[in-house]
Amino acid sequence: MRPIALFQAVGLFLGLTNAAPSADVSVASRDLFKRAPTCNTPSNRACWSNGFDINTDYESSIPNTGNTRRYILDVTQTENWVGGDGQVKKLAMLFNGTFPGPTIRADWGDWIEVTVRNKLSCDGTSVHWHGIRMQRNSVNDGANGVTECPIAPGTSRTYRFRAEQYGTGWYHSHYSSQDGQGLDSSPGAAPAADNVLFNGTHVSSAGTGDYARVKLKVGKRHRLRLINPSVDISYTVSLVNHDMTVIATDFVPVNAFTAPSVLLTPGQRLDVTIDASKTPGNYWFNVTFSSSPCGSSRFAKPAAIFQYDSVAAGIPTIQGSAPTDTLCQDNNNFSPVVRRTVPSSAFKVNETNTIGVELVQKAWQNVPNRVYWNVHGHDMNVTWENPTLEYVANKDLTFPERYNIHTVDKKNGDWAFWLIENTSVLPHPMHLHGHDFYVLGHSTPPRTPSPPR
Ligand SMILES: [Cu+2]
């Protein structure tokens, strides 16, 4: 575990750091990142700095570095942009003109200030810092229509938040989820992706583009920061002939366990290590899809190449076998290093604390069969110029129905409990802005889910 919090932009799927300081720094200058003194060494990744280590409860104790890391992100649009797989996209919206966008780095405990300048021609935008705890800071969460009005074209705003946890995060425009690409597809299957990019690149079925290539140092253990930034496909990743050791999920260090492959759902991050101790060569890093309808790609076998640094670049010869995952089911056995006691015996399931997630079809404007995700009985449709937080600031609790407000039951003190029930045919990963949550129990996905209503 390195004493670093790292956020990467939409589109970044895989980041790699060696045990030594990473050579791959995509910010403008290395000088931007003067690291705080640390006791973290190759032989002791649990140590952080004086008094802080992997067992520190980050909810009550955070290093006081006194540092603020400042970044500028320009949101721009380019027509007929050529992607990393050599394919032309009609319109690309990018951070600082790159895909994936620049990496934001900070030490645990630093403040981070990011100025977002909207240089789009006519769309509003906002940037969401996915996974960051926003205690007493929801105004910086970046969800337009909920915590802020969008940043208008030609204007900017500066977000300020603290790296209260460490690990791997990502940031993304919260505009994209409003025109979510899955909205006009037929229910029953997520639409197939054109391709899957690794660190922004891949080959295409038209023969353009290049495989992403990741160099491994012979004999070294490497940390991979895996991020699934896709709109609605889940997939499994595996490295042929190598196991992965999972060390953190989202921003939470977990008791390490080893697995031949890991599933990544949209928005999910997993930090894993791999040991470059096999026969030196070129190996496929494969993305595979479950047989249940949770994702597919028009490019049949997406993969990147991991190359030991003692051999020449080449195309791997061993295909590897696809991991079996018939239900597209996430690992449920993560156990956090910092344990907490959750007073769950007080929890009684009832109508108000059961949150149904379902797929529905209904007409909207001239489209007869729009597909909607209903959460707790409603889809969500907010008004940008009256974000939810503005109602709260004005102590006005008459939220329109389609703001889809869920009232948190304060009976259990600081804890709130929900039963989440997905009755659709598709998986629906859940993500809570600004908070951590604990999975207390789960059922196995049904083999034949009920059809969408
Ligand atoms: Cu989020």
pLDDT at 359 over 80: yes
CA 445 to centroid of ligand 1, rounded, Å = 24
CA 429 to centroid of ligand 1, rounded, Å = 12
CA 127 to centroid of ligand 1, rounded, Å = 10
pLDDT at 291 over 90: no
CA 333 to centroid of ligand 1, rounded, Å = 22
Enclosing domain of residue 69: 5-179
pLDDT at 411 over 90: no
pLDDT in tens, 3-28: 333 443 333 233 333 222 233 333 44
pLDDT in tens, 30-52: 445 677 788 989 889 999 998 99
Please name which of 210, 230, 213 lies closest in space to residue 284, comparing C-alpha atoms.
213
Which of 32-36, 91-95, 127-131, 217-221 is the least confident region?
32-36
pLDDT in tens, 331-353: 888 999 999 999 988 888 888 88
CA 7 to centroid of ligand 1, rounded, Å = 13
Q: Do the domain assignments include residue 158?
A: yes
Average pLDDT, the chain: 86
Does the predicted TM-score (pTM) go above 0.85?
A: yes
Q: Do the domain assignments include residue 259?
A: no
- Residues near ligand 1 ion, CB 5 Å cutoff: 130, 433
Number of domains composing the chain: 1
pLDDT in tens, 68-108: 999 999 999 999 999 999 999 999 999 999 999 999 999 99
Confidence of residue 330 (pLDDT cuts 50, 70, 90): confident
- Domain of 22, CATH number, reads 2.60.40.420
Q: Do the domain assignments include residue 88?
A: yes
Q: Do the domain assignments include residue 279?
A: no
Q: Do the domain assignments include residue 173?
A: yes
Q: What are φ and ψ of residue 391, in 5° steps?
A: -60, -45
Q: Do the domain assignments include residue 161?
A: yes
Which of 55-69, 248-262, 323-337 is the least confident region?
323-337
Q: Do the domain assignments include residue 252?
A: no
CA 305 to centroid of ligand 1, rounded, Å = 30
pLDDT in tens, 380-403: 999 999 999 999 999 999 999 999
Q: Do the domain assignments include residue 146?
A: yes
CA 249 to centroid of ligand 1, rounded, Å = 15
pLDDT in tens, 175-190: 754 333 322 334 456 6
